[in-house]
Chains A and B, each alone.
Chain A
Amino acid sequence: MVRRYLLSRLLQGVIVLFGAVAISFVLTNVIGKPADVLGGPYLTEEQRAALNAELGYDRPLLPRFLDYLQGVATGNFGTSYRTDDSALALVLNALPNTLVLVLLALVVAVLIAISLATFSARHREHRLDRLLRRTIGVLQGMPEFWLALMLILIFSVQLALFPSFGFYSPSSLVLPAAALALPLVPTLFRIFRGQLLDVLSGDFVEAMRARGLSERLIVYRHALPNTTGPSATFIALQLGHLIGGSLIIETIFSWPGIGNLTISSVQARDFAVVQAVIIVVAAFYVLLNLAADLIVMASDPRVRVGVS
């Protein structure tokens, strides 16, 4: 039964991927052709058409799409006309940089959120708790790009502590990861806090208190682990959102990830690369969803029973 469930999810994933391939192909092809950019202002329409023909953009959309589909099925995502490199290779080269950034941001956000949520839950309705909840709301209202620019101005331009662009050393990670992580903290904080408060009001916690266990032991040893199951799904899905959200941050910090690659490829009408980015990100998102389902199944016996 579980195997059938997984197969059905995989099939859904394949359908989603096909949709991503089709939509990315059509959308990227309606925004223009490479010669519009490559030709600069010097080419006439005829010369532009000749250049497009040279690059293979003179054929109708459907036959090109069918060829593309066949290529994708065999792992050939096309070639970047700018470098003649495989589009997939370019994306897979950039993906680790994005993943490093996004994972670090997620870890930082989770650690901060858990720490604050634990403090807040343990001191519920204390004035410090109220202050914390109000302050953290302000953080949520900050746009990512604004926060990124502020971080650059303070920590790079004024204090000269961290680089403001590129990925040349571990210190390059600090500012972009902070710019991605901080806006995520309020949402995670609320989820963890809510989960923790639920767990702390449970009967088994009352029983432990009645046995005389210390509050610290109850929270860290017993309550926190019980919040991980539901939160894990949310965190896994956040990873997908963060990859999308990293586009702006990567641009501001000139981060050599897929966000930056996407922007430059769109500007250059390097369609093969744009399409490869969309498909790879879609595949990643499908896998994350599947992983989230598996985590829930593994951590909650009730879900396993439901599936069966």
Chain B
Amino acid sequence: MPTYTLPRTPQSAEIYADISRRGALRLGAAAGLGMTIGLPALTGCSLGSTPASRPSSTPPARPTGVLRVANNAEPQTLDPTVATNIADVGILMHNVYEGLVQYRGDTNELEPLLAEHFESSPDAREWIFRLRQGVTFHDGEPLTSSAVKASFDYAKASRGAYGYFLPDGATYDDSDPTVLRITTPTPFPDMARNVSVQKIISPKLIRAGATSIKRSPAGTGPFRFVSYRTAQSVVLEANQNYWRTGSGPYLERLEFLIIPDPDGRISALRSGSVDLVLKVTPTNSLGLRGDQNIVVTQNNSWTTSKIFLYTKTPPMDNLKLREALSYAIDRQALIKSILRDVGGESNDSWVVPGLYGYHEPATTYPYDPDRARQLIAESGLPTPISINLAYSPDVGGPGEQLAQAISGMVKEVGIDLTVVSKAGGELGKVHTSPGGNPRPWHAMLGGRTFITGSAAHCIALQCLERENQLEDPRLADLGKQVLNTANGPERLQLFADVEQRVAELAPMVTLYTEVALHAHRNTVQGFVPPQDGLLPSYGSVYLAG
């Protein structure tokens, strides 16, 4: 029997001290405690007046009121093992479904959720999740180790994105209904972080099949699924039997109103037709800050915006050219002029600062056009060097402005950069094709979200090899070691070595950490902006008055 060294909760964690990462991703503004503006009734949308209400600092004794959230788009799917967008998984995760563990609200520390305790063997080959007792799914099924195993099996088999976060060849021991033991053929130190994105689905629903999962989601979360009407809304209601006591849900009903037009969402918020808008643009946020009825929250997300350089596509295979590009781009100017100063940190790490696996590299590329010109001269490439940079307008955001501004900056050092606009699907397909495949453009403007709160899953997916066409034996070896070393100081050093090696190879220009901006009426209280920028929880939200 292996020796388990982990404590019951992360608060007193020993080994988990390294999972408990920095406090740098602190929340920007807290949810507004507010002004005396009430909510118009949703039904009938009578918007003529907004009845006054008094601010309340305490949540109601029982679920009350309707929170109307502007949903950015139509859900792609309500299957939680496939959904990846804020418009779908943003509704499901933390609200309908829950995971075994989660990141604690305003920190980046893991804490138990459906598992009241979790621990691993020192070699990280065996994990134990001790489940909470008395938890039931929305359809009445009890939470057991077999239910969790069924969810993991379903996710692994579904071919959706989340299955890849679970270990290959794992064996699940569910003989004790309250304990799930997972044994993996090789060390799997990221199990706890990776299962934080796995939603535990009712086993009854899994037995009913994929169609049922898409149509009537049922988890253990604070809200139950009520309805989904295409192009209209997704409606949830309070789970009256929620297992957590004293922590919500405080809302009787949650309505996600599908408003794909960004300006339409802002108008709806201003007029009081909706209470909360997620992911507003920097420009819109500046306008909203002047409205006394609206609170804008701002926090760093787990996404970095960067230029991926395709290192096997000449002339991008020239290291000096890649370094020159890094020196030639004035990131602070981009943040100031294009993001209107609403931008996150800018540094040379390939990981979001503060996430598990982040370590600021010694090699940095501050804005230095003279150094860039010198490197271009040393590169041996005839000038001007012609390259093209692809971006997609489909993903929203200031992609085109950024690309055009970058084109202007690098022109100063002798690089003729052509901006190419492509459909999101085409861009993604090229970007994730095998690293050896020829690429039709030299670089891509995009982002990377570290959805598990760690750099490790990206190493496991060989992001750098595929997305940046990076072939480096030293980096490959470091990656293997990272994935096979248990959490601890030795692993953190390996992460630091990876960081340094990536910075030396310059396969990307990290522009900035994306900032997530959310806006809500000041009657909305208890809203905590999600630290990942993607998955908000409405369990703690209530309405003033």
Residues of A participating in the B interface, judged by any CB pair closer than 8 Å = 31-33, 36-45, 47-48, 50-51, 54, 81-84, 90, 93-94, 149, 152-153, 156-157, 160-169, 171-172, 251-257, 260-261, 263-264, 267-269
The contact sample of 26 A-B pairs, CB cut-off 8 A, is A36-B424, A36-B425, A36-B428, A42-B84, A43-B432, A82-B76, A82-B77, A83-B78, A84-B214, A84-B215, A94-B230, A156-B47, A156-B273, A160-B48, A160-B50, A165-B268, A169-B44, A172-B45, A251-B261, A252-B261, A252-B264, A254-B257, A256-B230, A257-B231, A264-B73, A269-B425
B211 touches A84 (CB 8 A): yes
Kindly identify which residue among B43, B159, B233, B426 contacts A47, using a CB–CB cutoff of 8 Å.
B159
Kindly identify which residue among B211, B258, B425 contacts A31, using a CB–CB cutoff of 8 Å.
B425
A160 touches B271 (CB 8 A): yes
Kindly identify which residue among A42, A162, A267 contacts B461, using a CB–CB cutoff of 8 Å.
A42
Distance in Å: Cβ of A30 to nearest Cβ of chain B: 11
- Closest chain A residue to B431 by CB distance? A41
A163 touches B45 (CB 8 A): yes
User: Please, which residues of chain B bring their CB within 8 A of the CB of A167?
Assistant: 232
Distance in Å: Cβ of A72 to nearest Cβ of chain B: 21
User: Please, which residues of chain A bring their CB within 8 A of the CB of B270?
Assistant: 157
User: Please, which residues of chain B bring their CB within 8 A of the CB of A263?
Assistant: 260
User: Please, which residues of chain B bring their CB within 8 A of the CB of A45?
Assistant: 429, 432-434
Q: Which residues of chain B (415-473) have a CB below 8 Å from chain A? A: 423-426, 428-429, 431-434, 448-449, 451, 461, 466
Interface residues on B, range: 35 or more
Distance in Å: Cβ of A127 to nearest Cβ of chain B: 39
CA A8 to CA B434, docked complex, whole Å: 55
Indicate whether A50 sits within 8 Å of B428 (C-beta atoms), given known contacts A157-B270, A264-B73: no
CA A33 to CA B461, docked complex, whole Å: 22
B260 touches A260 (CB 8 A): yes
CA A43 to CA B74, docked complex, whole Å: 22
Residues of B participating in the A interface, judged by any CB pair closer than 8 Å = 42-50, 73-78, 82, 84-85, 159-161, 164, 210-211, 214-215, 228-233, 257-261, 263-264, 267-268, 270-273, 394, 423-426, 428-429, 431-434, 448-449, 451, 461, 466
Indicate whether A42 sits within 8 Å of B260 (C-beta atoms), given known contacts A84-B214, A164-B267: no
User: Please, which residues of chain A bring their CB within 8 A of the CB of B461?
Assistant: 42, 44
Kindly identify which residue among B44, B230, B258, B264 contacts A164, using a CB–CB cutoff of 8 Å.
B264
A254 touches B77 (CB 8 A): no
B448 touches A160 (CB 8 A): no
User: Please, which residues of chain A bring their CB within 8 A of the CB of B434?
Assistant: 44-45
CA A40 to CA B163, docked complex, whole Å: 13
What 5 pairs between A and B have smallest CB-CB spacing? A36-B425, A264-B74, A32-B425, A40-B84, A163-B45
- Closest chain B residue to A170 by CB distance? B44
A168 touches B44 (CB 8 A): yes
Kindly identify which residue among B74, B76, B211, B424 contacts A38, using a CB–CB cutoff of 8 Å.
B76
Which of A51, A153, A260: most chain B Cβ within 10 A?
A260
Kindly identify which residue among B47, B228, B428 contacts A41, using a CB–CB cutoff of 8 Å.
B428
CA A261 to CA B215, docked complex, whole Å: 18
B74 touches A83 (CB 8 A): no
B267 touches A157 (CB 8 A): yes
- Closest chain A residue to B40 by CB distance? A160
Kindly identify which residue among B230, B268, B271, B429 contacts A36, using a CB–CB cutoff of 8 Å.
B429
A261 touches B230 (CB 8 A): yes
User: Please, which residues of chain A bring their CB within 8 A of the CB of B448?
Assistant: 41
- Closest chain B residue to A32 by CB distance? B425
Distance in Å: Cβ of B262 to nearest Cβ of chain A: 11
User: Please, which residues of chain B bring their CB within 8 A of the CB of A44?
Assistant: 432, 434, 461, 466
Kindly identify which residue among A33, A51, A84, A254 contacts B159, using a CB–CB cutoff of 8 Å.
A51
- Closest chain B residue to A39 by CB distance? B161
A153 touches B84 (CB 8 A): no
B264 touches A160 (CB 8 A): no
Distance in Å: Cβ of B157 to nearest Cβ of chain A: 10
CA A252 to CA B265, docked complex, whole Å: 9
A156 touches B267 (CB 8 A): yes
CA A191 to CA B258, docked complex, whole Å: 39
User: Please, which residues of chain A bring their CB within 8 A of the CB of B264?
Assistant: 152, 164-165, 251-254
User: Please, which residues of chain B bring their CB within 8 A of the CB of A90?
Assistant: 230
B273 touches A82 (CB 8 A): no
User: Please, which residues of chain A bring their CB within 8 A of the CB of B466?
Assistant: 44
Distance in Å: Cβ of B446 to nearest Cβ of chain A: 8
User: Please, which residues of chain B bring their CB within 8 A of the CB of A162?
Assistant: 47
CA A93 to CA B229, docked complex, whole Å: 10
Distance in Å: Cβ of B369 to nearest Cβ of chain A: 32
CA A251 to CA B230, docked complex, whole Å: 13
CA A44 to CA B161, docked complex, whole Å: 10
User: Please, which residues of chain B bring their CB within 8 A of the CB of A94?
Assistant: 230-231
Which of B75, B84, B448: most chain A Cβ within 10 A?
B84
A83 touches B214 (CB 8 A): yes
12 further contact pairs, Cβ within 8 A, besides A31-B425, A40-B85, A165-B257: A37-B425, A41-B448, A44-B432, A84-B215, A160-B271, A163-B273, A165-B259, A166-B273, A168-B43, A254-B231, A254-B257, A268-B74
User: Please, which residues of chain B bring their CB within 8 A of the CB of A93?
Assistant: 230
Kindly identify which residue among B48, B73, B451 contacts A267, using a CB–CB cutoff of 8 Å.
B73
Kindly identify which residue among B84, B211, B228, B258 contacts A254, using a CB–CB cutoff of 8 Å.
B258
- Closest chain A residue to B457 by CB distance? A42
User: Please, which residues of chain B bring their CB within 8 A of the CB of A165?
Assistant: 257, 259, 264, 267-268, 273
- Closest chain A residue to B466 by CB distance? A44
CA A165 to CA B271, docked complex, whole Å: 11
User: Please, which residues of chain B bring their CB within 8 A of the CB of A36?
Assistant: 424-426, 428-429
B429 touches A268 (CB 8 A): no
CA A255 to CA B330, docked complex, whole Å: 43
- Closest chain B residue to A258 by CB distance? B231
Kindly identify which residue among A38, A84, A255 contacts B160, using a CB–CB cutoff of 8 Å.
A38
CA A212 to CA B320, docked complex, whole Å: 95
User: Please, which residues of chain A bring their CB within 8 A of the CB of B44?
Assistant: 168-169, 171
CA A267 to CA B214, docked complex, whole Å: 19
A38 touches B260 (CB 8 A): no
Distance in Å: Cβ of B122 to nearest Cβ of chain A: 30
Kindly identify which residue among A42, A81, A256, A268 contacts B161, using a CB–CB cutoff of 8 Å.
A42
User: Please, which residues of chain A bring their CB within 8 A of the CB of B257?
Assistant: 165-166, 254
- Closest chain B residue to A257 by CB distance? B231
User: Please, which residues of chain B bring their CB within 8 A of the CB of A33?
Assistant: 425
A254 touches B267 (CB 8 A): no
A161 touches B47 (CB 8 A): yes
- Closest chain B residue to A265 by CB distance? B74
User: Please, which residues of chain B bring their CB within 8 A of the CB of A255?
Assistant: 231
B231 touches A264 (CB 8 A): yes
Distance in Å: Cβ of B430 to nearest Cβ of chain A: 10
Distance in Å: Cβ of A261 to nearest Cβ of chain B: 5
User: Please, which residues of chain A bring their CB within 8 A of the CB of B429?
Assistant: 32, 36, 45, 48
CA A260 to CA B85, docked complex, whole Å: 18
A256 touches B49 (CB 8 A): no
CA A264 to CA B85, docked complex, whole Å: 13
- Closest chain B residue to A50 by CB distance? B159
User: Please, which residues of chain A bring their CB within 8 A of the CB of B75?
Assistant: 82
A254 touches B261 (CB 8 A): yes
User: Please, which residues of chain A bring their CB within 8 A of the CB of B268?
Assistant: 164-165
User: Please, which residues of chain A bring their CB within 8 A of the CB of B43?
Assistant: 168-169
A163 touches B47 (CB 8 A): yes
User: Please, which residues of chain B bring their CB within 8 A of the CB of A257?
Assistant: 231
Indicate whether A83 sits within 8 Å of B215 (C-beta atoms), given known contacts A165-B268, A261-B231: yes
CA A33 to CA B425, docked complex, whole Å: 8
User: Please, which residues of chain A bring their CB within 8 A of the CB of B73?
Assistant: 264, 267
CA A168 to CA B273, docked complex, whole Å: 11
